[in-house]
A = this chain, B = another copy of it.
Amino acid sequence: MPSIDAALNEVATTITRTLEELLPTPEGAEKRVLEAMRYACLGGGKRIRPFLVMMGARLFDVNEVSARRVATAIEMVHCYSLVHDDLPAMDDSDLRRGRATVHKQFDEAVAILAGDGLLTLAFEVLADPETHPNPAVRSDLVLAMAKAAGGAGMVGGQMIDLEAEKASLDIGAITRLQRLKTGEIIAFACVAGAILGQASEQARHALLAYAHDLGLAFQIADDLLDTEGTAASIGKPVGADSAAGKATFVALLGVERAREQAQLLARQAAAHLDLFDEKADLLREMAGFVVNRKH
């Protein structure tokens, strides 16, 4: 069995190649926005969401092309959210994955449009017959992704995150913030393989429960990295969130309890996969990986 690092690298390579194929070639008078869309997606990234899709799809013997296209669509949505979140009016970040953010490399107008273009392209990819021969599956994928990305998902979560700079949130409010902002799209990534494989309700529920715990563990680990990491290893300024006055799990729980909580959630996440055989081993390992990673 390959180690999780090797498996992550393999998926990252595959997804980068698929992004290169699916992103439009920059040409014509609209060239700059197409260049910015590529820049936003092709500058590295751990490709954790695509990994979850690929590993989930493996449980149900889903066709490789289908899994790869859905994984790539989710990565486009993730990249769009980063481009818009980094804008001056939002988190105002100059640096992302160790490179200039899109509005710094291009300009604000291009960054707004590139985000819009990526979000739209993701839906185009999901609805394309090449993604799955059954239109009911494609339609389910679009519906699930729209729910995860919209006002009751990423958009709503980012709104709460902006409000959180003004008001102090309690642990319940911050858990909801994270469920919306990052949790719903992670849940979609985990369940996408089950949609593609038209799997049982039981299997879907197990994957959603896994995703729920994994998403929270992931976010707490992120907060810990933001507090303790170095700019070089995380690719963005250290302490940016706490400097912005944002309530984080670490600020509320303290470093020690936050770390314990992340470990507990990771073990709980893995336990939700008990009904699957060894095909789920990399998803089990993933739970440990997200809380132990150093960047």
Q: Which residues of A contact B (CB under 8 A)?
A: 24, 28-30, 32-34, 37, 84, 87, 89-90, 107-110, 112-113, 115-117, 119-121, 123-124, 126-129, 134-136, 138-140, 142-143, 145-147, 149-152, 155-160, 162-163, 169, 173, 176-177, 180
Beyond A117-B156, A121-B151, 13 extra complex contacts between A and B, CB < 8 Å: A24-B152, A29-B160, A30-B157, A32-B163, A33-B155, A33-B159, A84-B112, A113-B158, A116-B119, A119-B120, A124-B143, A127-B143, A138-B139
CA distance A110 to B107 in the complex (A): 19
Across the interface, A29 reaches (CB within 8 A) one of B37, B121, B134, B163, namely: B163
Copies of this chain, complex-wide, total: 2
Q: Are B135 and A120 in contact (CB under 8 A)?
A: no
Across the interface, A139 reaches (CB within 8 A) one of B116, B139, B177, namely: B139
Q: Are A30 and B180 in contact (CB under 8 A)?
A: yes
A11 to chain B, nearest CB (A): 25
CA distance A156 to B109 in the complex (A): 12
Across the interface, A24 reaches (CB within 8 A) one of B116, B119, B151, B157, namely: B151
Q: Are A30 and B160 in contact (CB under 8 A)?
A: yes
Across the interface, A37 reaches (CB within 8 A) one of B30, B142, B151, namely: B151
Across the interface, A90 reaches (CB within 8 A) one of B89, B109, B115, namely: B109
Q: Are A121 and B150 in contact (CB under 8 A)?
A: yes
CA distance A177 to B30 in the complex (A): 9
A272 to chain B, nearest CB (A): 27
Q: Are B127 and A142 in contact (CB under 8 A)?
A: yes
Q: Are A123 and B142 in contact (CB under 8 A)?
A: yes
CA distance A72 to B158 in the complex (A): 25
Residues from chain B with a CB closer than 8 A to the CB of A159 are 29-30, 32-33, 110, 113
Across the interface, A155 reaches (CB within 8 A) one of B113, B126, B127, B128, namely: B113
Closest to A136 in B: B135
Chain A to chain B: the 7 pairs with minimum beta-carbon distance, closest first: A124-B146, A89-B108, A30-B156, A120-B150, A127-B142, A135-B136, A33-B159
